[in-house]
């Protein structure tokens, strides 16, 4: 028997996960996938990862760093850091409100 959370799936926007991964330094694709798996328990397939990278780069939130052999690392830009901080503050606010409401309803949170 599950607690219902499994049916909800993971709430994981690939772009947000990529920005979180790059927040501590430049990474290439495989390093991001590994980091995101450790960070959020989410495996991004190549299509999802490179689609997110393309969107983030086109919006100026990440940029390609100098190639490392055959690897092409990416790094977060100042605009990307600002956007990530804003999104994380919003998520924190939603999480705090949800947990508070659960406590008020007598649900262990």
Q: What is the pLDDT of residues 9-63, one digit of tens each?
A: 555 799 999 999 999 999 999 999 999 999 999 999 999 999 999 999 999 999 9
Residue 1: pLDDT band with limits 50, 70, 90 = very low
Look at residue 3 and tell me whether its pLDDT is greater than 60: no
Least Cα distance to 33 among 6, 9, 58, 12 occurs for 12
Any idea which residue has 């705090």 for tokens? 96
**pLDDT value of residue 10:** 53
* Domains present along the chain, CATH in parentheses: 5-104 (1.10.10.10)
State whether residue 71 is helix, strand or coil: strand
Look at residue 80 and tell me whether its pLDDT is greater than 70: yes
**pLDDT value of residue 68:** 83
């Amino acid at each position: 028997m599950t607690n219902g959370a499994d049916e909800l799936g993971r709430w994981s926007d690939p772009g947000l996960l990529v920005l979180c991964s790059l927040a501590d330094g430049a990474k290439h694709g495989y390093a991001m996938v590994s980091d995101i798996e450790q960070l959020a328990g989410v495996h991004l397939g190549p299509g999802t990862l490179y689609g997110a990278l393309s969107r983030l780069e086109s919006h100026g939130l990440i940029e390609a760093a100098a190639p490392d052999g055959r690897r092409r690392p990416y790094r977060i830009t100042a605009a990307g850091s600002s956007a990530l901080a804003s999104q994380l503050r919003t998520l924190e606010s939603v999480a705090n409100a949800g947990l508070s409401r659960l406590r008020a309803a007598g649900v262990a949170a």
